[in-house]
Amino acid sequence: MARLRQTIIRSALESLYFSGAHHMLKPLVGGVGLILTLHHVRPPRPDRFQPNRLLEVTPRFLHGVIELLRSEGIDLVSLDEMHRRLTEGDFARRFVCLTFDDGYRDTLKWAHPILREAEVPFAVYVATSFADRLGELWWLALEAVIAHNERVALTVDGRDRIFDCATVSAKRALYQELYWWLRGLPTEMEMRRVVHDLAAFYQVDIAAFCKDLCMSWEELAELAADPLVTIGAHTVNHPMLAKLTPEAARSEMDLSRSVIEAALDVRPRHLSYPIGDRSSAGPREFKIAAELGFKTAVTTRPGVLFPGHARRLTALPRISLNGEYQRLRYVRVLLSGSATAMWNGFRPQEAA
């Protein structure tokens, strides 16, 4: 299913590009600017089973995107500057904000040199448990369990099941099945418990992902020292906030800000909701973020920015630079707003 979905998205992007429709639609759906979402930036890896490849782009692609944005005359701005433009209605020039979620070490190693060289401001949303080495990158633990085994035994909805995953295509299918089943469990705790059990049984060290992939506080301090960098909050434990009690959701957002302030001496004024889709962040979370005084908060709901987003600053859409679609012509389509408008059924996105 995931492959089919990718094929459909790719052909939609291709036809929007080659038909020229993205050009025609841009004045209608292009908005005033947009926020790009990135996770990993690192050289490509040869593994055939990479179910999380959508979360990584190559340094070369990032470089190409920056050159494209510059050649289109788009302003590359910080979150504070985006906030100013939205609240003051300063839409004389189109703008793009670059944001990186989670705080991966490759942001420092691969993305930062490219962005520093090009003098591009960017934001990094830090999940503090990752820097504290206590976080759980559960989607990678699931990937490792499936990658290293030919069969996986698991109790799903009360039934003991054994899944065959000897081939790459079986691994891909199983990852999608289990990932979405886990995402659909009613509570975050239940999901974490299943992943803990799986990781323990198949001897995958969940804690190691933090140490191997995420920046330490020292590395974050190095990044934060660059005036181009905005450090934002991304909760403590990276939960799907909408599945928590209101008190727990509030505390995740508030506490991560205090931990970052204590560690880096900068108080985050911007927030990114973990996972960030409708099942993870909704009106309740948008309200809490506003009450906590965050200037802006971003979702992963796809879309460009319109003037009306000035009234919904804690519910901003973003556009992901998806590792499965690393072509500059796709980025042109995404910048036009036409792809996200189509995916949203051409409904007015200000009402998202």
Residues that bind Zn ion (CB under 5 A): 101-102, 274
As measured in angstroms, the least distance from the Cβ of 238 to Zn ion is: 6
H/E stretch holding 97 = strand 95-102
The residue length of the chain stands at 352
How far apart are alpha carbons 315 and 303 in whole angstroms?
11
Q: Which residues of 136-171 are buried (b: 16+ CB within 10 A; e: fewer)?
A: bbbbbbbbbbbbebeebebeeeeeeeebebeeeebb
Neighbour-count burial of 227, counting CB atoms closer than 10 A to its CB (0-12 exposed, 13-18 middle, 19+ buried)? exposed
316-320/33-38 β-pairing? parallel
As measured in angstroms, the least distance from the Cβ of 167 to Zn ion is: 30
As measured in angstroms, the least distance from the Cβ of 272 to Zn ion is: 7
As measured in angstroms, the least distance from the Cβ of 5 to Zn ion is: 21
Which residue, 25 or 55, has its beta carbon nearer to Zn ion? 55
As measured in angstroms, the least distance from the Cβ of 24 to Zn ion is: 35
Single-letter code of the amino acid located at 192: R
H/E stretch holding 283 = helix 283-291
Which residue, 25 or 182, has its beta carbon nearer to Zn ion? 182
Tokens of 119: 């003098």
Which residue, 274 or 302, has its beta carbon nearer to Zn ion? 274
40-41/33-38 β-pairing? unpaired
Which residue, 101 or 252, has its beta carbon nearer to Zn ion? 101
* Residue whose C-beta lies closest to Zn ion: 101
- Which of 342, 344, 352 minimizes the C-alpha distance to 17? 342
Which residue, 95 or 179, has its beta carbon nearer to Zn ion? 179
Which residue, 75 or 277, has its beta carbon nearer to Zn ion? 277
- Which of 239, 347, 337, 324 minimizes the C-alpha distance to 6? 324
As measured in angstroms, the least distance from the Cβ of 334 to Zn ion is: 20
As measured in angstroms, the least distance from the Cβ of 212 to Zn ion is: 16
As measured in angstroms, the least distance from the Cβ of 281 to Zn ion is: 11
How far apart are alpha carbons 78 and 72 in whole angstroms?
18
How far apart are alpha carbons 281 and 297 in whole angstroms?
10
Which residue, 37 or 340, has its beta carbon nearer to Zn ion? 37
Which residue, 101 or 106, has its beta carbon nearer to Zn ion? 101
For the chain, report the end-to-end CA distance as a whole number of angstroms.
Answer: 27
